[in-house]
Amino acid sequence: MTETSETRPPVIAIDGPSGAGKGSVSRAVAQALSCRYVDTGAMYRAVAWMAGHEGISFDDEPLLTELSERVELRLAGRSVEVEGHDVTSVIRTAEIDSAAARVARVPGVREVLVRRQRAYAATGGLVMEGRDIGTTVFPEADVKIYLDASAEERASRRASDPAHGLGGADAALSDVATALEARDHSDRTRQNSPLTMADDAVLVDTTGVPLDGVIRRVLEIVQTRLGALP
């Protein structure tokens, strides 16, 4: 059972597929609201990276679940540490993206990480981004936003994003689009917590909209739901 808004600080859930702008928007919103920002996708990436480091097969569900339970993760803004090692850059690659999608399909891993994600709300206001925040992690979130964009625009953004190791000459747009399509299919068809928009979420289409415009729109939604902003 999740906590209600009467017993915890405000939680803002921002969901959506890859390339919709979740990271940039969520960080900016968290800063504007003086809230903690948590990227749940980074948690799955970190577990996937650690599994590779320890030689654990992505088909070994019991070991992956055990790993997600014991691994020491530290998230601070965009920074990610695993067992005290800074993995912020190394987990932002196409290879880890694919591995994270496989890890995210493991029910035991999701159960453990969802429990960890809920614990973040105990420390204050929270802006959390992911693919199942408004539906599974915090179904009683005070504000739910679902960011989306056309498949073409999402692929274009990801292809030019150096944070995901896809920038430069190696980032053929067709290859990135194929990878995103595969990730979308994996996220939307997994048995546990598939990517879907919560019934009470507000859809924000970011296609063709500058980043600052999307941030303003999200803050307007938050203000409508929560009242005056800081």
- pLDDT tier at 4 (50, 70, 90 boundaries)? very low
Residue 3 in this model has a pLDDT that exceeds 80? no
pLDDT for the residue 177: 85
- pLDDT tier at 90 (50, 70, 90 boundaries)? very high
- pLDDT tier at 164 (50, 70, 90 boundaries)? low
- Residues 187-211: pLDDT tens digits? 898 888 889 999 999 999 999 999 9
Fill in the amino acid letter for 148.
D
pLDDT for the residue 147: 97
pLDDT for the residue 170: 46
Residue of 9 and 224 predicted with greater confidence: 224
pLDDT for the residue 162: 65
CB-CB contact of 51 with 166 (8 Å):
no
Q: How many CB atoms lie under 10 A from the CB of residue 115?
A: 12
Residue 214 in this model has a pLDDT that exceeds 50? yes
Residue of 176 and 200 predicted with greater confidence: 200
Average pLDDT over residues 80-105: 93
pLDDT for the residue 171: 55
Q: What is the mean pLDDT of the chain?
A: 89
Residue 230 in this model has a pLDDT that exceeds 70? no
**8 CB contacts (<8 Å, ≥6 apart)?**
121, 122
Residue of 161 and 202 predicted with greater confidence: 202
Average pLDDT over residues 174-178: 83
Average pLDDT over residues 150-167: 76
- Residues 98-116: pLDDT tens digits? 999 999 999 999 999 999 9
Residue among 12, 15, 17 nearest 31 (CA): 12
CB-CB contact of 217 with 210 (8 Å):
no
Residue 225 in this model has a pLDDT that exceeds 80? yes
- Residues 108-154: pLDDT tens digits? 999 999 999 999 988 789 999 999 999 999 999 999 999 999 999 99
Instruction: Report residue 124: phi and psi, to 5°.
Output: 135, -175
